[in-house]
Every structure is written in structure tokens, then in C-alpha cells.
Amino acid sequence: MLDLTQDVRALTAAIVDIESVSGHERALADAVEGALSALPHLKVSRSGETLVARTQLGRAERVLIAGHLDTVPVAGNLPSRVDGDLLYGCGTSDMKAGVAVALKLAAGLPEPNRDVTYVFYDCEEVEAERNGLTRVARDHADWLAADFAVLMEPTDGVIEGGCQGTLRAEITVTGKRAHSARSWLGVNAVHGIEPVLARLNAYEARRPVVDGLEYHEGLNAVGVSGGVAGNVIPDLCVVTVNYRFAPDLSIEQAEQHVREVFDGFAVSIVDAAPGARPGLTHPAAAAFTAAVTGAVGGEPRAKLGWTDVARFSALGVPAVNYGPGDPNLAHQQGEYVALSKIVESERAMLDWLST
Amino acid sequence: MLDLTQDVRALTAAIVDIESVSGHERALADAVEGALSALPHLKVSRSGETLVARTQLGRAERVLIAGHLDTVPVAGNLPSRVDGDLLYGCGTSDMKAGVAVALKLAAGLPEPNRDVTYVFYDCEEVEAERNGLTRVARDHADWLAADFAVLMEPTDGVIEGGCQGTLRAEITVTGKRAHSARSWLGVNAVHGIEPVLARLNAYEARRPVVDGLEYHEGLNAVGVSGGVAGNVIPDLCVVTVNYRFAPDLSIEQAEQHVREVFDGFAVSIVDAAPGARPGLTHPAAAAFTAAVTGAVGGEPRAKLGWTDVARFSALGVPAVNYGPGDPNLAHQQGEYVALSKIVESERAMLDWLST
């Protein structure tokens, strides 16, 4: 049974020491469920290894605080150990420190100034189809209803608003095979991608300001492949491009843009995920920003990578990333979190929800 | 025992029916050796499954007539069968019809007007290292000494002079990896090949006349590859190019040319094989051309693909391709040779060596 009255630093270590690699979160989910269910001010629901706990105070606003329970595979870095201000171990930064902060809030704030929904979910580190949020959004969308959400992924204690969307497409150029000794009888598809690359090189990425944050787009080749044999003129060449688009565009608009850039070429969309607006203009978000910047300093910035905040955005819930971990340490064998950052993060969140 | 007194068409069928897929030429090599050894005017040498038979008449000129004994794998196309003027079967066109013509000459011309070296070799259809000519050129180069050589590969009865050389090189562009959500932190190596492709697209291939024949060069990408993952800016992209060069250039000159075309880029030579000059200005060659065009018609043309004539050229022996088979039928299940073409070819060669 997890003791939610202990210091947030000790609680982080306790959670880290319950191994929870993706697909094996049951022990931790059980421990979290046991601890939350003991709190009379929360209504706890469970779907698989995902827990949702809600205050039901009838406040005018509801905010959502979320963290995933799983980690990447352990790499000889458990149990956790403390060295000065640093807590080492698998999942310390990504993102059990954030989970510990959320659990402390859940236990310590029976009457927050806003209704709060706490979400602890499974399988974030693996394919989207297994992600607990995917399942809950599909089966119990009402559990996730809120005016604003904070995903406590590692951001080094700075608010990272929303996230950019991502779209991958294949640009295919065809030609005609021929023996390379008589190349003029063929049409070289590899030579044919020159204008595709020229458009990529000439591309000027947008840097739009969305809800007060400046995003930075990018359109890039992430792969190219073509060739039949060392003596054959290739009849096929495929350039795979990745468009990272600011959250003022929908997937449909992003696709339209890519098709326009490569007008005249065969464009096939491989996959896409929407962005998320930061929603920092919402009153709950403004209060959150004031609390965090008051406690920690550091102006909010745009999140450029894709995160689960996009799932909240898709449900109509503006969302930000904010957590004590250092994102650069995620998934590394030497992963750690600064204990002082966890405390700082807990204080900022308490300020936001209690004053 | 092969009967070399029979008609060249029947002899072709007899040879076709002795299966001799590359690496399994022994039965055919034994049969050829037995037949040649019975001819007192020839000195016969053997290396593995390669036979070399020479007249030793002290003529002012020596010419070499060569053909490979092996075939690609049988594809349900043996034994041979005749349909009208066509002889069907594995190896009919490539190149047992040519071998049969050479054997008829060896047996029927005890006193040719030029000394003749007949070469029947193994493993032409597989990697160069196993090729009987590679071995003989290394171990017994003197066996191949001659003023002019005719390789009786299928050319549809037209003299194809020399051959173009071939060189493959990798043009490597490097960059710097970065997450594609923050692409400006990286350097995209796939984008970096645009100028490589631009130079290929702008390339104007030479069409030089060498020893009276017009060649046609080509410089082409035969492959391209780059990419790490769908969310990573690639730090490496390789374009593989194939330069087919006319026989007025050495391998060293061809390499120098490719390095000049891609000046400023990292160029790595993967493999290269020299071309062969047609040598049609040599008196023995001129007489050969007169005999063939007199018997058959059809002006000599340049050989654009690479063939074993380059091995003779490397030994200082100008060489041409000339044979009764149709090169477009080589390696096909439905391979055949026109019986009339075999007779025509035998008559042309007899004219050349006896008048």
C-alpha cells in the first residue's frame, strides 16, 4: 500500500521501485488504486491499468492532471538510489516524479479551488493503440471531461504549451527500367526526385504564434529509397517526408499543405496525428501559468514534439506539458530527477489549486 | 565423343544436349577435349574445365576465337528441339551455337591462313572470380597471346566491337541527426543530395568514336538510400552511380571523371571493370569485318554492355563480339537460335580464315 502522506521525494522513490515496464503496470496500478480508494473525497474509476480519480465539488471549473505509470524497459537501473540532490532510476524523470506530485495533490487537497480529475494511465511508451488514454477516450470519454489539462511529462519545470502535429507522407516518382549500359532507353526515377528535394530545400517553415506561444514548423525528408540493381536504371524512388505542423492547423489542413508543396507528384499520406493548442488564454490556464512562473520562473514555451496532450485537445480540452523531470534524460540508462525540482513542482501545483 | 564432322546445326544440338550449367561443365569439357585431342594439327591445353587449342603454323598473325561452355540454370528447356528454322533449348543462343561454329573451324581448318587459338572456357555466367578466363589469364597468360580475338557471344550475326567499361561509385552526403520536431538543430543529409542529382540530370554523356565505332556513355544513379526513422533528420544519404564509359578511357581516367563530376562530395569507388577497344583498324580485324559483312551484311557497331572481350583487351588483344545467337534471348526460358544464322556465321568465319 502506497503511503501518500510521505514526502513527495520519498513517494517518488517508492513508485520508482515498483517496476512498471509497459504492459506490466498491474502492481503499480493496484497500489495507486488502493491509495486513492482510501480517500473519501475522490471518485475512483478503473479501466485496465488506468485509474481516473475525480473530486466532485461542483466547482465552476474542472482541470485534469495526468501522468503515465509505465516506463521503458529497465536497464540495470533499479532499485532507485539517491546521490546528493539526484534520484537515479528507471522512470524517475519520465515520469514517476510527475506521478508522485499528482498523487500528493490528490491526497493532500480534499477541497481544491477547482474540481480536479487525476489520470494515471498505462502503455504510453509503446504503440498508440495500446495507450490507456486511447482506450479511455474511446470507452469513457466523459471521465476525461475538463476545461484544461496538465500532462506531467518531463519539461524541466517549464510549461510547454500544446504540441505540434505530425504527418508523414510518401512522395513517389516512377520511371522506366533499362540496362544501365543503355540508360537512354529508360527513365531514371532517382534522378526524378531532384525537384522534390529542391522544394524541401527551398521550404520556409512557418513560425506562427498560437494562443501566445510561438511554434516552429518543419517539413523534412526522413528517408529516401530507390534502386533495383547495380546495372539497372531504377523505375521507382520514394521520398518519405515528415511535416511537423503548428496546432493552428488540422490534420486535413496539414495534408492539404503537403499536397500543395508537392503539387504534380504522387503524394500518399502514411500517418498523421493532430497537434494541440496550448489553451493558455483560458482562465484556469492563466492561473496555472501565474502559479508556476511565480514559484519557478521561466516563461511558457511551445511544445514542438508530439505528446499525449494532443489526445486531450482532440477531446476539446486545451492542455500543457509540465513536469519536474528533464526531458533529455528520458529513456536513458542514467536517468535521474532532481529532488529539489520535484518539491518545486509540488509547490507550484499546490499554489495553483489552493489559493 | 563429339563428332566434329557433322553439320554445324546438328553439332549445336549435340552440345546443347550435354547439360553444362556453370560449375558443372566437366562432361562437356571432357567431350570437347576428346574431340580436339584427336586433331593432330592442334596443341591442346587444359586448366580446370577450360580448353585451349592452338594451331602452330608459324603464321605472321594469330587470332583467338573464344566461347564459354557454361549456361545459366536449365529451366525445363532441355533436351533441345527443332521447330522449323529454330533450335530451342538452354544455351542455344548463349552461346553453344557459337561454340559449335568454333569447333567446326577447329576441326575443318587444319591450315588456316592465320594461326588460330580456340578457347572454350567455364563459369562465364557467374561471378568473375570463378570465370575460367580469369584463371587462365592469371596462370597461363601466354595461352591467350594473339593479335585479335573474336568472342562468339550472341550478337545476332553483327560485329559488336569492344565493350564499354563500367564503374560504380558511392556519393556520400553526411549531415547531423536531430528530432524531426526540431529539425533546425540537425542537417538533413537527404536534402543534401539535391546537387548530386542536379549534376546527374545536367550530365551530357559523351558519344566518342573509337577505332571507327561510336560508343554511347552514361552516368546514372542506380540506387539511393537514406533515413534513420520516421521522426529523425537523417545524417547520412548515399547515391550509388554507375558510369558506363567508352573504351578510350582507362579505369583510372573513368574514376577521375566521376570524381570531377562530383567535385566537393565524398566519392568512393565500389567496383570497376575496364572497357575494350574494338581494334577494328588491325589488319586481321579489317579482314574479319570484310568477311562477315561480305557474307552477312550489317555494319559493325559498338558493344555497349560489358563482356569478356575486356579481358582480352586487358591482355593487349583487341577483341570483338560476334555470334549467331540473338542477345535478347539470352537467359530466357524460351531461348532459341536460328539454324540459318549458325550456318551463316560458320561460312563467314571460314571465309575469313581460309581465303
Contacts of B225 in chain A (CB under 8 A): 224-227
Asked if the Cβ–Cβ distance from B240 to A230 is below 8 Å, we say yes
Which pLDDT value is given to residue A117?
Answer: 98
Please name the residues between 181 and 200 in chain A that touch chain B, using a CB distance below 8 Å.
181-184, 188, 190-191, 193-194, 197-198, 200
**Which grid cell is A215?**
511554434
Q: Do B181 and A229 touch (CB under 8 A)?
A: no
Mutate to test the interface with A, among B224, B233, B242, B331 (most CBs of A within 10 A): B224
Inter-chain CB proximity A190 and B229 less than 8 Å:
no
Q: Evaluate if residue A298 carries a pLDDT over 80.
A: no
- Span B150-179, average pLDDT: 93
Tell me the residue type at A100. Answer: A
From chain B, the residues in CB contact with A183 under 8 A are 205, 218, 220, 244
Is B248 tagged catalytic? no
- Chain B residue with CA closest to A177: the answer is B222
The single residue listed with the C-alpha cell 485534469 is A64
Rounded mean pLDDT of A267-289?
Answer: 89
Residue B85 CA from chain centroid, whole number: 27
* Average pLDDT of the residues in A100-110: 98
Please name which of A86, A122, A69 lies closest in space to residue A9, comparing C-alpha atoms. Answer: A86
Averaged pLDDT of chain B: 94
Segment B310-333 shows an average pLDDT of: 88
- Whether the predicted pLDDT of A255 surpasses 70: yes
Paired strand residues for A237: A173, A226
Q: Do A222 and B168 touch (CB under 8 A)?
A: no
Cβ atoms of A341 and A295 within 8 Å: the answer is no
B239-296 pLDDT, tens digit each: 999 999 999 999 999 999 999 999 999 999 999 999 988 888 888 888 899 888 876 6
H helices, E strands: number in chain B: 9, 19
Q: Do the chains contact at A181 and B306, CB–CB below 8 Å?
A: yes
Closest Cα of chain B to A326: distance in Å?
Answer: 16
E-strand spans in chain B?
A: 43-47, 50-54, 62-68, 81-83, 86-88, 115-121, 148-151, 160-161, 165-174, 178-179, 209-210, 213-214, 218-227, 232-233, 236-245, 266-273, 301-302, 319-321, 336-338
Give yes or no: B70 in active site.
yes
Is the pLDDT confidence value at A285 over 90?
no
* A161-170, A323-332, B182-191: least confident range: A323-332
The verdict on a CB contact (< 8 Å) between A216 and B180 is: no
Q: What is the pLDDT of residue B65?
A: 98
Which pLDDT tens digit goes with each residue over B67-97?
999 998 898 999 999 999 999 999 999 999 9
User: Average pLDDT in the A104-116 region?
Assistant: 97
Residue B296's pLDDT is: 66
> Is A171 a residue whose pLDDT tops 90?
yes
**Residue B194: what pLDDT?**
98
Please, which pLDDT band fits residue A296 given cuts at 50, 70 and 90? low
Where residue A150 falls among pLDDT bands split at 50, 70, 90? very high
Residue B113: the pLDDT is 96
* Residue B303 pLDDT: 87
Residue A202 at interface with chain B, using a CB cutoff of 8 Å? no
Residue B189, pLDDT score = 98
pLDDT band at B228, cuts 50/70/90?
Answer: confident
**Chain B CB within 8 Å of residue A157 CB:** no
Question: Could you give the CA distance from residue A340 to residue A346 in angstroms, rounded to a whole number?
Answer: 10
Q: Is residue B223 within 8 Å of residue B240, measured between CB atoms?
A: yes
Give the percent of chain B with pLDDT over 90. 78
| Catalytic entry in B124, B125, B255, B326 | B124
